[in-house]
Amino acid sequence: MNMTRRELLKLTPILAVGALTLPAFREGLLKTGLNWTDRAAGAFFSPERLAQTFSKHELTPIEQFPINSYSDYNPENDLASWTLIVEGMVAKPGQYTLDQIQTLPKQTQNVKHICIEGWDVIGNFGGARLSDFLQMVGADPAARFVEVSCLDDYYSSYDIASCLHPQTLLGWEMYGQPLTAEHGAPLRLHMPVKLGYKSAKYIYSIRVSNVLGKEKGFWEDQGYSWYGGI
C-alpha cells in the first residue's frame, strides 16, 4: 500500500470534474459527443425502415399543429413568382415551377412530427417523394449531400440517404389543403425520420453537392445535431 498512490487516487474525481471546467477540454469533449451521436443515429437509420404511419382518426387537428417558424416571414407576395432553383450535381439544373413538381406522383402520409423541444404531433402531409424529384432533375448518384435555402433565410443540409428515404417529401399540402403561409407555402420538406427543425419551410433552392459548406443549417450552426435523425 503506497500512501502517495492512495492520496492521488483520492483526488481523481476532483480532477475529472475540474477538467470539465477547462473550456478547451469541455468543448472538445462535447464536439466529440455530438459527432458520436450523429454517427450513432446514422447507424440506426435504414433506407428501408419506415416511420410509423397512423390512421386519420389519430391525426392531431391542424389547429393544434404547432407553428415554430423562426421569423415572421409571410410568403404571400412571393408566391406568384416562386420557382424552385436546382443547382449543383444535377443533369438538369434550373428553375422548376410548382406545376412541374406536381407532375410527380403524389404521396400522402399520416406521420409523426417530433420536435427537438420534446413534443410530438401526428400530421397529414402530401407531396412528391424527394427521391422522385432528385431523379427528375438528374441528381448525380455519387452526390452525398443536399442543401436547401428558404425564403425566410432559414437553411439546412442533409445526407443523401435520408433524402432518398421513401417518406421524405417535397410537400405542398397539409391535411389535404395547399400549405398555408404559417406551414411553409408553397413548398416545404417533411422528413419523418428527422427532428422537426430538419423539415424546412418556404424552400426556394435545392443544391446537390459532394461537400458541405461552412454553413450547415440555421440551428445546426448554433449547436443542434447536423444529422438530426430519429
Partner 1 sequence: MATTKSGLTIHTIELDQNGVRQTLAQEHSWLVRFTHWLNAISLAVMTMSGLQIYSAFPSFGVKIPQEDFLHFPEWMRLGDWLGGALQWHLTFAWMFTLTGVTYVLYLIVSGKWRIVILRPEEFRGVWPMVRHYFLFKPKPPQLEPYNPLQKLAYTATIGFGVVAVITGMLLFQPAQFAWQVKLLGGFGMIRIYHFAAMIGFLSFVPGHLLMVALHGWSNFYSMLTGWKRDPDYLTIHSSGRG
Interacting residues toward partner 1 by CB under 8 A: 1, 6, 9-10, 12-13, 16-17, 20, 29-30, 32-34, 36-37, 40-41, 44-46, 49, 51-52, 60, 63-66, 112, 114-121, 192-193, 219, 222-225, 229-230
Taking the complex as a whole, how short is the minimal distance between the CB of residue 198 and partner 1, in angstroms? Answer: 12
Taking the complex as a whole, how short is the minimal distance between the CB of residue 20 and partner 1, in angstroms? Answer: 8
Q: Which is nearer to partner 1, 147 or 220 (CB)?
A: 220
Taking the complex as a whole, how short is the minimal distance between the CB of residue 37 and partner 1, in angstroms? Answer: 4
Radius of gyration of the chain (CA): 21
Q: Which is nearer to partner 1, 210 or 215 (CB)?
A: 215
> What's the CA gap between 37 and 166, in Å, rounded?
24
Q: Which is nearer to partner 1, 152 or 220 (CB)?
A: 220
Q: Which is nearer to partner 1, 63 or 99 (CB)?
A: 63
Taking the complex as a whole, how short is the minimal distance between the CB of residue 84 and partner 1, in angstroms? Answer: 26
Produce one character per residue of 114-146: b if its CB has 16 or more CB atoms within 10 Å, e if not.
Answer: beeeeeebbbbbbbbbbbbbbebbebeeebebb
H or E segment to which residue 17 belongs: helix 3-20
DSSP string, 115-147: -TTS-EEEEEEEEEEHHHHHHHTTB-TT--EEE
